[in-house]
Every structure is written in structure tokens, then in C-alpha cells.
């Protein structure tokens, strides 16, 4: 059996187009232009690309985009000062601080300083808690994108066994919480999990977010399962160049799974698309209006 490939590029184009249509309605009917500010500290090459792509996508969706770049030596207070200024700016509805941050800056302190209403990354503890108890919340972009693709592929997720490999605050934990909200039976697996291959083989939905290239092998996958690969790992090629691989050994898993996301072109593009969707949601909530139906 060869799995259906879940095309994150095509899916994300639809999500981005929908965000763009909502922005048009907000501008025309409410004189509201959603604004997104992205803060980059330092010069990590991958982060620079992500931040540039976020700014481009924001403008393409018709929103206001602000990019704030700070030197790699910036102090925690300097980063906090930027966040406080953006919290007070009425033209900015979404604030995202690109991760990772340089080691002298406490990530939790910075994320905690973002106004939860403007927290389009959904990393603030208020949003984490609200999502966990079923209240309206800003939901982290990568897990939200994964959930959209899962529902599009499988429809109702109720009663399915979901295994999330990885317990990061950015992906693993929120992913597990979202799957629980969809009535899945959820297992979070991690480095101390005993017999990880056997745990994975019990999954109808297998989400790999562990950050280890091609760790999950084909014989860890239950035949017909839906596999979502969140990993983005750059590994060396024989010619001295590099290539991107996920946390799942795609060539093996594709022969066993029912559906699978590729890397690149799977989960990654959905992250930025969901960021735009979250910014529209945040702008509407701050303005006290319903999100347009488009
Ligand atoms: N504040 C945040 N920081 C980080 C997040 C986040 O959601 N919020 N996530 C990642 C990086 N990230 C967005 O910021 C991101 C990663 C990957 C992609 C993507 O489209 N990947 C492509 C491949 C890109 C390549 O060629 O390198 C793909 O998978 O097809 C988008 C966004 C960490 N930091």
C-alpha cells in the first residue's frame, strides 16, 4: 500500500486565501486592518528566512506587517521593552517573538509579557490554560495546522488512538491537548517512553515532533495510520550539500501509512498560514466583532 500524501502547500494556500478574504471584509465593512508584528533577536539563518516569509505572507493577505530586528546581544529588558510597546499599539493585533531566543533572554519571561489577546503564537500560559479547559483561546500555529490537516483527511477524530512523539511546549503538549479536545485517546511519548516502536504501532494518528532525523521507521507505523511529521531536520548529502528530512523515515512509512505529510511541503507551510488565520481571529476579538464568514 502507498499512502496518500497530505499536501500542506496546497492546503496552506487555501488557508491563506481565506485569511485574505476575511481581511478584505474587515477593511470594507469595519475599517479594520489586522496588524502583525514579528520580533527577531539575532541572526539565526533559518529564523531570518521564517521571519521574512511571515512578513511577506502578512502583506500578501492584505494586513499590516511590522518587523522588529534586535541585535544578538540584546538584553532581556530590551526585548521586553519592544513587547510592551507593541502591546500598547492599537494598530498591532498580533505579536510573535521568533524562537529560539539568544541564551541571555529568558524565553518564558518574554512570552509571558505578550498581551494574551495579541498572542498569535498561543504560547502564553493564559492561552495554554484556556485551550486546555475548552475556552476560546489563541492556539499555537503548528499544532493548529496539524489538526486542520487531520480533520480534512479523517473527518471526525473521536475515539481514534493518537500518539504524539515529543513533549515540547510549542508542539507536543498543545498538539496532545487539541487531539484530546477532539475526543482522541491520546498518548504523549518521549525519550523515557518504554518500547516506543510498540507505542507508535498502536496509533491511528501518529504525530512526530521529536527533532531527530528519520527516527520513526516504517515498521513503527500501524498499517493505514495517518502520519503527521512535524520535524524539519537538515542533514548532509553525499555531494556535500544538505537536504531536509522529517522525524519520520518517509520512504519506509509511505509504504505502510494510509496518509502522510511530506517534509518539506507538509506541516511547515501550515504554520505560517495558521499565523495569518490567528491574526485575523485576534483582530476580530479585540474589535469585539464576529469573524467574517467567507
Ligand atoms: N515564535 C515562533 N517561533 C518558532 C515557530 C513558531 O511557530 N513560533 N516555529 C518554528 C519555525 N517556523 C516558524 O516560525 C517555521 C518552520 C518551518 C516552516 C516551513 O514552511 N518549512 C518548510 C521548509 C523550509 C525550509 O526549506 O527550510 C516546509 O516544511 O516545507 C515555516 C515556519 C520555530 N520557531
Which CATH number does the domain housing residue 203 bear? 3.40.50.720
- Of the candidates 121, 204, 229, 247, the residue annotated as catalytic is 121
User: pLDDT tens, 15-67?
Assistant: 999 999 999 999 999 999 999 999 999 999 999 999 999 999 999 999 999 99
Does the Cβ of 245 fall within 6 Å of ligand 1?
Answer: no
pLDDT of residue 78: 98
Instruction: List the CATH number of the domain containing 111.
Output: 3.40.50.10860
Residue nearest to atom 26 of ligand 1 (CA): 264
pLDDT of residue 116: 98
Query: For every residue of the chain, which 3-state class applies, written as one string?
Result: CCCEECCHHHHHHHHHHHHHHHHHHHHHHHCCCCEEEEEEECCCHHHHHHHHHHHHHHHHCCCEEEEEEECCCCCHHHHHHHHHHHHCCCCCCEEEECCCCCCCCCHHHHHHHCCHHHECCCCCHHHHHHHHCCCCCCCCHHHHHHHHHHHHHHCCCCCCEEEEECCCCCCHHHHHHHHHHCCCEEEEECCCCCCHHHHHHCCCEEEECCCCCCCECHHHCCCCCEEEECCCEEEECCCCCEEEECCECHHHHCCCCCEECCCCCCHHHHHHHHHHHHHHHHHHHHHCCCCCCC
pLDDT band at residue 102 using 50, 70 and 90 as cut-offs: very high
| Mean pLDDT on 60-76 | 98
Does the Cβ of 263 fall within 6 Å of ligand 1?
Answer: yes
pLDDT of residue 88: 98
Residues 153 and 233 in one domain: yes
Distance 47 CA to ligand 1 centre (A): 8
Per the domain annotation, does 293 fall within a domain? no
User: pLDDT tens, 201-251?
Assistant: 999 999 999 999 999 999 999 999 999 999 999 999 999 999 999 999 999
User: pLDDT tens, 111-128?
Assistant: 999 999 999 999 999 999
Residues 102 and 183 in one domain: no
ipTM for the predicted complex comes to 0.95
- 167 labeled binding residue: yes
pLDDT band at residue 278 using 50, 70 and 90 as cut-offs: very high
Per the domain annotation, does 185 fall within a domain? yes
Distance 142 CA to ligand 1 centre (A): 8
Residues 172 and 223 in one domain: yes
- 95 labeled binding residue: no
How many structural domains is the chain composed of? 2
Residues 167 and 260 in one domain: yes
Residues 157 and 227 in one domain: yes
Is the confidence at residue 1, as pLDDT, over 90?
Answer: no
| Mean pLDDT on 154-183 | 98
The mean pLDDT value of the chain amounts to 98
Does the Cβ of 68 fall within 6 Å of ligand 1?
Answer: no
pLDDT of residue 23: 98
| Mean pLDDT on 63-85 | 98
- 272 labeled binding residue: no
φ/ψ bin of 31: left (φ > 0), alpha (ψ from -120 to 50), beta (otherwise): left
pLDDT of residue 188: 98
For residue 96, the ligand 1 atom closest to its alpha carbon is 1
Structural domain for 203, as ranges = 141-268
pLDDT of residue 60: 98
Amino acid at each position: 500500500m502507498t499512502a496518500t500524501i497530505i499536501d500542506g502547500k496546497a492546503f496552506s494556500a487555501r488557508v491563506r486565501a481565506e485569511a485574505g478574504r476575511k481581511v478584505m471584509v474587515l477593511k470594507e465593512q469595519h475599517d479594520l486592518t489586522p496588524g502583525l508584528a514579528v520580533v527577531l533577536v539575532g541572526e539565526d539563518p533559518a529564523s531570518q528566512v521564517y521571519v521574512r516569509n511571515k512578513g511577506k505572507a502578512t502583506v500578501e493577505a492584505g494586513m499590516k506587517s511590522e518587523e522588529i530586528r534586535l541585535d544578538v546581544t540584546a538584553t532581556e529588558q530590551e526585548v521586553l521593552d519592544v513587547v510592551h510597546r507593541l502591546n500598547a499599539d492599537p494598530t498591532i493585533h498580533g505579536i510573535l517573538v521568533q524562537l529560539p531566543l539568544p541564551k541571555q533572554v529568558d524565553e518564558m519571561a518574554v512570552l509571558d509579557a505578550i498581551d494574551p489577546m495579541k498572542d498569535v503564537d498561543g504560547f502564553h500560559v493564559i492561552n495554554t490554560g484556556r485551550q486546555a479547559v475548552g475556552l476560546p483561546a489563541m492556539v499555537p500555529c503548528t499544532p493548529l495546522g496539524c489538526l486542520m490537516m487531520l480533520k480534512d483527511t479523517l473527518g471526525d477524530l473521536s475515539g481514534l488512538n493518537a500518539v504524539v512523539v515529543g513533549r515540547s511546549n510549542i508542539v507536543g503538549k498543545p498538539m496532545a491537548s487539541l487531539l484530546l479536545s477532539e475526543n482522541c485517546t491520546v498518548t504523549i511519548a518521549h525519550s523515557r517512553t518504554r518500547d516506543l516502536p510498540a507505542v507508535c504501532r498502536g496509533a491511528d494518528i501518529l504525530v512526530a515532533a521529536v527533532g531527530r532525523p528519520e527516527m520513526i521507521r516504517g515498521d513503527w507505523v500501524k498499517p493505514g495510520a495517518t502520519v503527521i511529521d512535524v520535524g524539519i531536520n537538515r542533514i548532509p548529502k553525499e555531494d556535500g550539500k544538505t537536504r531536509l528530512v522529517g522525524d519520520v523515515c518517509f520512504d519506509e512509512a509511505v509504504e505502510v501509512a494510509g496518509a502522510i505529510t511530506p517534509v518539506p511541503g507538509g506541516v511547515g507551510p501550515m504554520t505560517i498560514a495558521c499565523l495569518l488565520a490567528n491574526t485575523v481571529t485576534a483582530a476580530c476579538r479585540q474589535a469585539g466583532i464576529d469573524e467574517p464568514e467567507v
